[in-house]
């Protein structure tokens, strides 16, 4: 049977999603969260290829998995609901397979390492608090839909409404839109007492770490959608690593 290393499997960049008929506009707003909730932003340098390989290189190289090649170009994208479908088709199932393979290999060490077996799913697969539903969830396998915790909430955006470069824009409106989306993810993380979260668009993955309960966040360097190959972080590998962080029973939570 044809197999490849888990590292190779997760290092493949997803295909570019073509866009048609897109309309720029503001991101989700709600009285419960606001751009002003974000009080400080710092770098998260530990979210890197080097650190992932230091921690999990042996596991990623020794675990074998059947290839799941991207066989046909994705259909065009014009709105956020369609991107949710592309995420499910291109990304979520592959990250789920990668986590399943990694945890199967780690099975004898899970208890010693204080790790739970984690998978990725839609936000409704974890407890919904006050009707707020993140777009994605890292959850403990077998946890209850009604009481299970979202250990690393994710929000899906489209690149023509949000991009990480807005942080450094000369336009104050762009800077505000950038923080507005961070505030949304921060709110979800606070609801679930989660330390980690992410924003994924059709252009990039941005991992986020909550440093306190007062809007201080560490933001990882953006991983371009097109990034992949030997020695480079890909969207799939970045999400897999977020799943491994969410697995740490003594570290996923920040109260």
- What is the extent of the structural domain holding 218? 1-12+33-64+157-249
Residue 214, domain member (yes or no): yes
User: Within a domain: residue 72?
Assistant: no
Per-residue tokens: 165: 């470069």
Looking at residue 111, its pLDDT comes to 81
Q: Total structural domains in the chain? A: 1
Lowest average pLDDT, out of 108-122, 154-168, 236-250, goes to: 108-122
pLDDT in tens, 149-167: 999 999 999 999 999 999 9
The whole-chain average pLDDT of the chain stands at: 93
Query: Residue 246: is its pLDDT beyond 90?
Result: yes
Does residue 82 belong to any structural domain of this protein? Answer: no
Evaluate whether residue 239 is within a structural domain: yes
210 pLDDT more than 80: yes
Q: What is the pLDDT of residues 54-68, one digit of tens each?
A: 999 999 999 999 999
Cα separation, 249 vs 252, in Å, equals: 6
Q: Which pLDDT score is estimated for 81?
A: 92
Does residue 170 fall inside a structural domain? Answer: yes
Domain contains 6: yes
Give the pLDDT mean for 139-151.
90
Q: Does residue 255 register a pLDDT over 80?
A: no
Q: What is the dihedral of CA 106, 225, 15, 69, to 10 degrees?
A: -10
CB atoms within 10 A of CB 85: 12
Q: Per the domain annotation, does 57 fall within a domain?
A: yes
Interval 99-113: pLDDT, tens: 999 999 998 888 888
pLDDT at 145: 81
Instruction: Give residue-wise pLDDT tens across range 6-42.
Output: 999 999 999 999 998 887 777 777 788 999 999 999 9
Q: Is residue 140 part of a domain?
A: no
Between residues 145 and 86, the one the model is more confident about = 86
- Quickly list H helices, the chain: 6-10, 49-62, 80-86, 93-106, 172-191, 235-246
pLDDT at 1: 67
Q: Are 40 and 212 in contact (CB under 8 A)?
A: no
φ/ψ (deg, to 5) at 65 = -145, 145
Tokens (6 digits) for 35: 């751009």
């Amino acid at each position: 049977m044809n197999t490849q290393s888990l590292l190779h499997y997760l290092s493949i960049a997803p295909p570019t999603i073509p866009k048609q008929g897109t309309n720029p506009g503001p991101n989700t707003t709600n009285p419960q969260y606001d751009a002003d909730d974000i009080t400080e932003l710092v770098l998260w340098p530990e979210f890197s290829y080097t650190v992932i390989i230091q921690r999990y290189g042996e596991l990623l190289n020794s675990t074998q998995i059947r290839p799941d090649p991207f066989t046909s170009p994705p259909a065009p994208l014009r709105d956020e609901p369609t991107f949710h479908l592309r995420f499910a088709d291109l990304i979520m199932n592959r990250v789920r397979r990668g986590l399943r393979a990694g945890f199967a290999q780690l099975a004898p060490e899970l208890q010693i390492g204080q790790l739970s077996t984690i998978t990725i799913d839609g936000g409704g697969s974890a407890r919904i608090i006050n009707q707020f539903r993140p777009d994605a969830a890292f959850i403990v396998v077998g946890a209850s839909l009604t009481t299970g915790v979202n250990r690393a909430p994710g929000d899906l955006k489209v690149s023509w409404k949000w991009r990480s470069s807005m942080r450094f824009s000369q336009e104050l409106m762009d800077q505000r839109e950038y923080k507005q989306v961070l505030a949304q993810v921060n709110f979800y993380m606070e609801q679930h007492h989660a330390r980690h979260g992410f924003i994924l668009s059709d252009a990039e993955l941005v991992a986020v770490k909550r440093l306190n309960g007062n809007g201080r966040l560490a933001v990882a360097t953006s991983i371009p959608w097109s990034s992949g190959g030997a020695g480079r972080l890909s969207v799939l590998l970045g999400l897999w690593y977020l799943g491994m962080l969410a697995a740490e029973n003594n570290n996923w939570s920040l109260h």
